[in-house]
Chains A and B, each alone.
Chain A
Amino acid sequence: MEKKILIVDDEAHIRMLIGQTLEELEDEGVEFLTADNGASALELIQSEKPNLVFLDVMMPKMNGMDVCQRVKKELAIDDVYIVLLTAKGQELDRQRGQEVGADVYMTKPFDPEVLLSKAREVLQLD
């Protein structure tokens, strides 16, 4: 089955940056999906069942925390790995991220190398 990564951020350049960072995975058969808000992210997670989601926390309407909470806690979808992304040094967010069931927490500006190796690790690609 094709491996899927969902990139969720309301800022287009961040979506593009993450896509660009992970570009080489495309050659290994990974499919990329994007969403620019929490509600479409939630829909895509349910319909497309991505293996990995890079989820921005600060988004209007439904934020990343709420999406994560809904997916992990309420819908109990546990075969999706959620990476929460937010601005550096928000210690409270980190705690809240754990509460809503995020698998890992990364800060922006993210280190592209770290992001790529995390994706490879989660998707079990060498």
Chain B
Amino acid sequence: MSSVNLKNVVGKKSEVNSDILLLAKELNIEVCIEDATGKLLLGTLLPDDVSKFPIKLDDQILGWVKGDAKAVIIANLVSHLAAKEAEKKNLGNEVLNLYQELNVIFNFSEKLAETIEPDAIARITLEQAMHSISSDGGIIVLWNDDKGQLEIPAQAGEFLFDKEKIRKNTSLLFKIAFGGQSEIINDFSVLREKGIIEAGVKSLMYAAMKVKHRIMGAIILAGNKDDQFSAAHLKLIVTLALQSSAAIESAMLYEKNIREAKEREEAILRIHEATKKFVPNEFIRSLGKNAITEVRLGDQVEKIVTVLFTDIRDFTTLSENMTPEENFHFVSSFNARLGPIIRANRGFINQYLGDSIMAIFPESPEDALQAAIQMQKAIRELNKERIAKGLPIIKAGIGMHTGPLIMGITGDESRMDAATISDTVNTASRIESLTKYYKSPLLLSQETQEHLNGHYKFHVRQLGTVRLKGKSNLLSIVECINGFEQPEYEKKLSTLSYFNEAMRCYREQQFENATMIFQQILALDPGDQTAKFFLENASRFMRQGVPENWTGAEEMLTK
């Protein structure tokens, strides 16, 4: 019961003050009312020898009504009014408590709305609980289902809880805090014995944190005084725990969504990384698309490109001595050396065809030629390693041609492929084959040479024309000597003008002169296989004469 200020009940400003005076007048008595301290509240002061009647609220005397015997009526009336006033005040206090609770929950909700991080929500919850409920220490325990362990996202106040002991006694904690109940614990001797709570703890209260029927954990408050927690406190902590549980649950779901979205994004990225290894990005970009997902059946683009082919010489013979697995490793390691060179020179590998590679250089033939020269160097280095291991050396031919090419997506709706359709590809492949015929490692078409636009750093030898099998047009073949190893390159460079002169004689059927010059070249550079090839041809024509309608072009009877 709250105490009542008698002044408020009968004082001058009260509504009943004049009524009581009127009543006294009607009763024909003289009265005065004093509070417990003797302070006059109503009427005029009467001497101490008159009778006085107590104004009581329960057992407490609030004041006195002085007067004769009839004044007892007024004393009873005022006691009754005081009781009503006390009742009103009690009601008011209860409403104020509820209002305070409402304010706490309002503020708490506002704070919760500001964060989406589960641990931060736990900290805010504990902070709010300890602010609203007088307590000396608090902790929040949450069960992490994924990790299968107890977590303690928040601890506040004095260190009344031992985190390590809590973790060690998970099963005990489960029995207490994970029962889904909320209560003021009277007997917590077990917890004290296990060292989970400090010896000084005299009061303990907890509320389960749960969503629907799933128990997530608990918020536990401890106090150093006896009976520190009331039923009202329990109600408040339950409210906070429930609100907090829902917020933590949403925050965890949010985190999970973010995590999953990130994982999906990474998976897509990995797929993208993988697909670009199968269908080069350059191919997709050439089609004006950013990603393979944008590519549609029938997409196509035509442009002038340089197509380069490489092929390992006598691969069949080489592979005969290898197991299929060794064979695969051999080809893979060969390709692994050449692939980066192609990319470094702005080209991309359109296709691996067993021991050969088809690459496309969309920007300039110079890129292709530069790549080819570097590839020759890489093969020489590979050979050094093979010699050291006692393995036979590898020889490879490189051929290229420049011309229009259609890149596009062919197939059907359920099986598509990135394809190149062009005679340029066939021609490049055939030029590569000619490296065997001319015994030269690097050949290009005259079209490629013309597209080089005077890049004089490349030194070339004109090898004349060929008519490919099944083709009516003649193709001029050019050999690039830049890729030879330094001493050989220098020899070929020094004999370049002789070679061109010899070829002129050869074309004009001056085979005697041609033979003589080729012999001179071979005297200086005995390893010049191409010169040897033409010397043999010229010698044969000298001996046997040229066929009818000989144009100087080599007729290719096979592909």
Contacts and interface: CB of A to CB of B under 8 A. Distances in A.
Interface stretch (A76-84, A108-116, A118-126): A108-116
Interface string A2-43: 000000000001001101110100110000000000000000
A23 B100 CA distance: 15
B95 A26 contact: no
Contacts of B89: 20, 23
Contact of A19 (B92, B102, B103): B92
Given A109-B102, A110-B103, A20 B5 contact: no
Q: Is the interface of A mostly helix, strand, loop or mixed?
A: helix
A20 B92 contact: yes
Given A16-B92, A20-B92, A109 B99 contact: yes
A88 B100 CA distance: 15
Contacts of A19: 92
B103 A17 contact: no
Contacts of A88: 106
Contacts of A20: 89, 92-93, 95-96
B115 interface: no
A54 to B, nearest CB: 14
Nearest to B101: A109
B107 interface: yes
Contact of B95 (A13, A109, A110, A111): A13
A112 B102 CA distance: 11
B96 A109 contact: no
A43 to B, nearest CB: 16
A13 B5 CA distance: 21
Interface in B139-186: none
A111 B93 contact: no
B113 to A, nearest CB: 12
A7 to B, nearest CB: 13
Contacts of B92: 16-17, 19-20
Nearest to A26: B5
A112 B100 CA distance: 7
A11 B96 CA distance: 14
B106 A17 contact: no
A30 B5 CA distance: 13
B93 A109 contact: no
Contacts of B8: 26
Contact of A16 (B95, B103, B107): B95
Contact of B96 (A21, A26, A27): A21
A111 B5 contact: no
Interface in B513-547: none
B434 to A, nearest CB: 83
Q: Which of B89, B96, B102, B107 has the most CB of A within 10 A?
A: B96
A111 B106 CA distance: 10
A21 B93 CA distance: 8
Contact of A17 (B5, B99, B107): B99
A6 to B, nearest CB: 14
A21 B5 CA distance: 16
Given A21-B96, A110-B103, A111-B103, 14 more contacts: A13-B95, A17-B92, A17-B95, A17-B96, A19-B92, A20-B89, A20-B92, A23-B89, A88-B106, A109-B103, A109-B106, A111-B107, A112-B99, A112-B100
State the 7 A-B residue pairs at the shortest beta-carbon distance, nearest first: A20-B92, A109-B103, A20-B96, A16-B92, A109-B106, A17-B99, A111-B103
Interface of B: 5, 8, 89, 92-93, 95-96, 99-100, 102-103, 106-107
24 contacts: A16-B92, A16-B95, A17-B92, A17-B95, A17-B96, A17-B99, A19-B92, A20-B92, A20-B93, A20-B95, A20-B96, A21-B96, A23-B89, A26-B5, A26-B8, A88-B106, A109-B99, A109-B103, A109-B106, A110-B103, A111-B103, A112-B96, A112-B99, A112-B103
